[in-house]
Amino acid sequence: MKIHEYQAKEIFSRYGIPVTRETVCYTPDEVVAAAEKSGYPCVVKAQVLTGGRGKAGGVKLVKNKEEAREAATSILGMDIKGYTVEKVLLAEGVKFQSEIYVGLTIDRNSKSVILMTSREGGVEIEEVAKENPDAIIKVPIDADLGMQPFLARKIAFRLFDDFNLVKQAADIFQKMYKICLDTDASLVEINPLVITDDNQLLALDGKMNFDENALYRQPEIEKLYEPDENELKEIEAKEKGLSYIKLDGNIGFMVNGAGLAMATMDMIKMYGGEPANFLDVGGSSNPQKVIDAMNLILSDEKVNAIMINIFGGITRGDDIAKGLISALEQLDVKVPIVVRLSGTNAKEGLEILRGTNLTVVESMTEAAKKAIELSAH
Amino acid sequence: MSILVNKNTRLIVQGITGRDGGFHTAKMKAYGTNVVGGVSPGKGGQTVEGLPVFNTVEEAVKQTGANTSILFVPAPFAADGILEASEAGIELVIAITEGIPTLDMVRIMPYLKKKGTKLIGPNCPGLITPDEALVGILPGNIFKKGNVGLISRSGTLTYEMVNQLTTNGIGQSTCVGIGGDPVAGLYFQDLLEMYQNDPETDAVVLIGEIGGDAEEQAAAFIKNKMTKPVVAFIAGQSAPPGKRMGHAGAIISSGSGTAEEKIAAFEAAGVPVARKPEDIPVLIKRALQYG
């Protein structure tokens, strides 16, 4: 889950990390008023939950009232990668000597939180990683030890010679680590962290992502969630225990397990078909989930055949079959359905499906070929 | 031999009184796994499937001599459950639970390391040594004893692959589902090493998927350390872009985690990659003949 720059910086500020003075604005009038108060030059920045704002023209430096109004009018309502800009940040203009990158994230390999920092901040860190990987300092943080003052200092000494900057940076590293743990963040990033003309470190930008598995214990963070249209459909599915992503094809899918779902889609594509969706009914099935899944698949009018591929482990074949029978009773299903059922309680499931007009096949390959054939009619 | 679980496994089930815990305890017992008891705080003294239920793992270990534990504990309490098993001296913990907060896993890793506890999962289907021990939610009837090891990040895709092997007459030594969470216990490399040292395993099937760089690391390990043949499959070859990894995560993995990159890494390491599940038995047969 992502939040906006201004929300990330509010959190940083609460923990005592110095950030730019700024105001969130929703209209050009608000932007002008905030700019007049802040003084010029200042910056108008689009607040959208996607990257690449600068390149899209969503960040503008303004030197007077007219420019502020002009920038606000052009940025508000702008489309950036499918996201409409509904709010902007009016931030003070800051003169700086150089830009630093600092990011905390989870590292699969060391199985720990890792701090990454670089003197080459201000550009996308992926670019630095590609062009000049040695410029990035990476330090995994031992979870038992945490971000001790000595460790934060040690990292900061690799960035700066000036002890005044080292102290400031070490303090920021410790605070970022605390934020990461306190909020269950999967990313805490400041890019750039600038050295101002009077030798102070200041966060010019901020970015945070959060672990969705931990939202249940982060009510304050959950309140900040602004799902887009696709996410809303995905959330609705998730509340029912389903994982759903809409795609462009015509063959609807219901599969258990993300890996098998992906492999099923790969196979359909390989044989020349086009998946209409990715749908993982997950483990621990109950018949209601199957009904919900069928509803979701059929909500897409392009679907003209459905392929059900279940290999039961924790998912039980009889649960799936019962759900299918109820779905057929409750819903007006006009498209052909191909079912492949194996694994836990598959025999019981197939027994339940006997006598229905579903096309029951033995293997995944057979199911894929059959579904493509039926969808062509 | 085989790896990790066998006839000597003495298994307890943490969360035995829940729906899934109870259901799969019965399945594991029916398969012949030596399940010796269960743990469910506050429910000590009850019995499930004829097995004694204990309040703590410590008590269960003392009473039953358990050496392995499987968890069906709800996500908010799962990390605590893993620690409890580790503290009680359990050698191998299998966490089936899905949805555990990542930082919970990060926090417990140093302790598990210190205690030498092996963890599989979380968010995994478990593992099986056919005809000896089923520790997980895998459907036992599809497996067949043999000499091919299997490691997978996915649950149900594992079943599909095993089914392909078994119906083609290829048996398995041990099959392990390592789970799909960002921070997990034993990974490809750890298990490849175990298979390399296991006299009952002659070849290995590795099933990866898009995201992260575990497959690339496995490829490097195979190239440098393995003499036994390995064949691979990568799920997500047709996955639409846009579901990409977090901003900073991509840097550490030094790659974008696409199927193409992973396939290229394996092929560069001399590991044949199947384009569809049914190609796996063909590749394995070829590998065993010439390997």
CA A119 to chain centre: 27
Residue A240 confidence class, pLDDT cut points 50, 70, 90: confident
Contact: A311, B152; criterion CB under 8 Å: no
Percentages of chain A per state (helix, strand, coil), in multiples of 5: 40, 25, 35
Q: What is the mean pLDDT of residues B131-142?
A: 94
Q: Which of A51, A112, A126 is nearest residue B106 as measured by Cβ atoms?
A: A112
Give the integer Cα–Cα distance in Å for A303 and A250: 4
Query: Mutating which of A101, A110, A210, A213 best tests the B interface, going by the most B Cβ atoms within 10 A?
Result: A213
Give the integer Cα–Cα distance in Å for B120 and B132: 18
- With 0-12 / 13-18 / 19 or more C-beta atoms within 10 angstroms meaning exposed / middle / buried, residue A96 is middle
> Which pLDDT tens digit goes with each residue over A296-306?
899 888 999 99
pTM recorded for the entire structure: 0.90
> Which pLDDT tens digit goes with each residue over B69-118?
999 999 999 999 999 999 999 999 999 998 999 999 999 999 999 999 99
> Which pLDDT tens digit goes with each residue over B216-267?
999 999 999 999 999 999 998 877 654 433 333 344 444 567 888 899 999 9
Contact: A262, B19; criterion CB under 8 Å: no
Show Cβ contacts of residue A75 under 8 Å, excluding neighbours closer than 6 positions: A44, A46, A57, A58, A60, A85, A88
Highest mean pLDDT (candidates A264-268, B173-177, B260-264): B173-177
Contact: B155, A313; criterion CB under 8 Å: yes
Catalytic residues of B: 247
Residue A150 distance to chain B (closest CA, Å): 20
Among residues B173, B209, B170, the alpha carbon closest in space to that of B191 is found at: B173
Give the integer Cα–Cα distance in Å for A125 and B227: 38
Q: State the complex-level ipTM.
A: 0.89
Interface A–B counts its CB contacts (< 8 A) at 193
Which of chain B's residues have a Cβ under 8 Å away from the Cβ of A346? 139
Among residues B80, B99, B97, B96, the alpha carbon closest in space to that of B88 is found at: B80
> Which pLDDT tens digit goes with each residue over A310-348?
988 777 888 889 888 988 888 888 899 999 998 888 889
Residue A64 distance to chain B (closest CA, Å): 35
Catalytic residues of A: 101, 189
Among residues B80, B54, B81, the alpha carbon closest in space to that of B66 is found at: B54
Q: Scanning the structure block, which residue is given the tokens 């191909």?
A: A338
Q: Which residues pair with B69 in a beta bridge?
A: B12, B93
Q: Which residues pair with A44 in a beta bridge?
A: A60, A90
Phi, psi for A344 (deg, rounded to 5): -50, 125
Q: What is the mean pLDDT of residues A175-204?
A: 97
Asked whether residue A283 carries a pLDDT value surpassing 70, the answer given is: no
Which of chain A's residues have a Cβ under 8 Å away from the Cβ of B248? 103, 105, 116, 125, 187, 189
Show Cβ contacts of residue A202 under 8 Å, excluding neighbours closer than 6 positions: A18, A19, A20, A94, A96, A193, A194, A196
Give the integer Cα–Cα distance in Å for A368 and A321: 19
Which of chain B's residues have a Cβ under 8 Å away from the Cβ of A138? 252
Q: Check CB contact of A325 with chain B, cutoff 8 Å.
A: no
